[in-house]
Amino acid sequence: MTERIETVVVGGGLMGSATAWQLAKRGREVTLLEQFGQLHKIGASHGTTRNFNVGYVEEHYLALVKEAGRLWRELEADADVSVLNLLGMTNHGKGVPAQHVEVLRAHGISAQWLSVDEARERWSGINFDTKILFTPDGGRLDPSTAIPAFQATTEKFGGHVRHETPVLKVAETANGQVEVVTDSVTYLADQVVVTVGGWTNKFIGGQLSYPRLYVTQEQPAHFAINNEAATWPSFNHRRIIGDPQYDYWYSDIYGMLTPGEGIKAGWHGVGIHVDPDNRSFQYEPMMMRALQRYAREYLPGVDPEQFTDISCTYTMSSDEAFILDRRGPFILGAGFSGQGAKFTPAIGRVLADFVTESKARPIPQFAAGRFIA
């Protein structure tokens, strides 16, 4: 059976769900197809916390995170839920750029330096090692509330959401439309939005050219809190490569409080390379021991011996920048490199623009052809 439809979105993680929400809200015909159940734990968008770090220096990320801040509130209003908690974000460590506060203030983002003593006064659970860049408009967001909210409002605005519906293939037709084949239905659509995370290379790699992508299995952990009274900001701890103080570090560290689960902390983008359909979901012991050592040295508010590991995938692009672009009937959203969640509703807006705005052009840093002269 063939069903005619304007747009099919493949992939019901954060990015596909946000795109479907944007299209349905604009009154466009859209069906979202997800191979697994709504809040499965096999991709990159599960769990109840992600950092909403506004502390970027690049123009294109600063514009996108500010827009995302507004659009998260719009989703919350549409779905009558709470997703974004602006409890403050701290960036510390020798790797924090000196001119950071000025850059943020120039973009209308509130930021200040705190001394180590001031910060320890406020947040006794963290052992800050340098002065701290504090952004009160940073915090954390909850994907496990966001995804159902995006999908419920997609349906509220007239779109359709199908779970347990793997897309077997997509193929451009002679007249420039696209066939989207599932077990039960073949959709004939004007365009398909491909937001399949770690499955991107397997799903569309043979049909589109884009910057190299690889998938890693990341292994942060929740550490048990040993002082329930302590308050916690979201945090990034940024090293200087080659500085002996950070010699056992695998990468910069990110973390936040996950209510009811403990303090999440993790290395960034250094997990083993995996096939998303053939993963161990087991953590690599050496890397976990180094994370426990980090907790011992820098998180006095937790018990480094008591932890629960998390297994999750990053889809890394070679420059860690996103791919947000259109090629014929294919619209691609990929390569979120472990930093996409905070930007989600704005990424949904960018991808939906490729459907509704004939003049839509890729943000140069996110263009699929950015490496091709």
Ligand X SMILES: Cc1cc2nc3c(=O)[nH]c(=O)nc-3n(C[C@H](O)[C@H](O)[C@H](O)COP(=O)(O)OP(=O)(O)OC[C@H]3O[C@@H](n4cnc5c(N)ncnc54)[C@H](O)[C@@H]3O)c2cc1C
**Alpha-carbon separation of residue 282 from 14, 197, 250, 278 (angstroms):** 24, 20, 18, 12
Question: How many angstroms separate the CA atoms of 300 and 41, rounded?
Answer: 30
Per-residue interface string for the shown chain with ligand X, residues 108-137, x marking contact by CB under 6 A: ------------------------------
- 125: Cβ–Cβ under 8 A, 6 or more apart, which residues? 225, 227, 230, 232, 263, 299, 300, 301, 302
Q: Does 16 bind ligand X (CB under 6 A)?
A: yes
* Closer Cβ to ligand X, 16 or 159, answer by number: 16
Question: How many angstroms separate the CA atoms of 260 and 12, rounded?
Answer: 26
The structure tokens 């940073």 sit at 138
List binders of ligand X among 254-273 (CB under 6 A).
254, 266
* Closer Cβ to ligand X, 45 or 317, answer by number: 45
**Closest CB to ligand X: residue number:** 13
Strands 272-273 vs 213-218: parallel, antiparallel or unpaired: antiparallel
Q: For the chain, report the end-to-end CA distance as a whole number of angstroms.
A: 43
**CB 77: neighbour CB atoms within 10 A?**
10
Stretch that binds ligand X, among 66-74, 96-104, 198-206, 323-331 (CB under 6 A): 198-206
Q: Does 199 bind ligand X (CB under 6 A)?
A: yes
Stretch that binds ligand X, among 40-48, 112-120, 126-134, 221-229 (CB under 6 A): 40-48
Q: Does 330 bind ligand X (CB under 6 A)?
A: no
Q: Does 11 bind ligand X (CB under 6 A)?
A: yes
35, 91, 154, 292: which one binds ligand X (CB under 6 A)? 35
Q: Does 348 bind ligand X (CB under 6 A)?
A: no
In the complex, minimum distance from the CB of residue 172 to ligand X, in angstroms, rounded to a whole number: 17
Element (H or E) spanning 70, and its range? helix 59-79
Binding site for ligand X (CB under 6 A): 10-16, 33-36, 43-45, 50-51, 166-167, 195-199, 203, 218, 220, 254, 266, 310, 312-314, 336, 338-342
